[in-house]
Amino acid sequence: MSFDFTLVHKQKPDFGQINIILKKSYQTIKSAELTLESDQEASFTLSYESMLKTSLALMLSRGYRPRVQLGHHKTLVLYAKYVLKQFSDITATYDRMRQKRNKLIYDIASVGKTEAKQALAIAKKYFDIVEDKIVEDNPQQKLWKHEGKSN
């Protein structure tokens, strides 16, 4: 799979910014967990938003930022598919979550408990994969690690 680099612009990686985004992404996962029982749509949306933030951290770590334009969410998904080729099942699910989130916002759709639970599980797994990839690509950087992982 190739990626259209006209959708992004080059910039120097700022690992302070990347760490902040990773922390925010992880907190969004925690919020998705807290809302799972009471509001499945909110939990699903938060799980998706976590994946979006995590993808942004990945892109930034490689020296790119999405252009501010219509479709920048899709740009982040496409970039994740490009970088994480070996995780095509997860990035395909991420893309389906993007489409579902659009239907939730701009159309009529609903999310059940099972779907929200699955979205949360995928968001957690995706976070771990991307976090590991950023560390692998940038071993010289001190990156924030969520609880349960060492620094």
pLDDT value at 89 more than 50? yes
Q: What CATH number does domain 15-137 carry, 3.20.20.480, 3.90.950.10, 1.20.120.330, 1.10.1470.10? A: 1.20.120.330
pLDDT value at 85 more than 80? yes
Q: What angle do CA 65, 61, 128 make, to 5 degrees?
A: 115
Please choose, from the candidates 52, 64, 51, 54, the residue with its C-alpha nearest in 3D space to the C-alpha of residue 14. Answer: 64
pLDDT digits (tens, 9 = 90+) for 20-70: 999 999 999 999 999 999 999 999 999 999 999 999 999 999 999 999 877
Residue 59 or residue 1, greater confidence: 59
Domain ranges of the chain: 15-137
User: Torsion angle of alpha carbons 26, 27, 29, 32, nearest 10°?
Assistant: 180
pTM (2 d.p.):
0.92
Alpha helices (H) along 36-62: 40-61
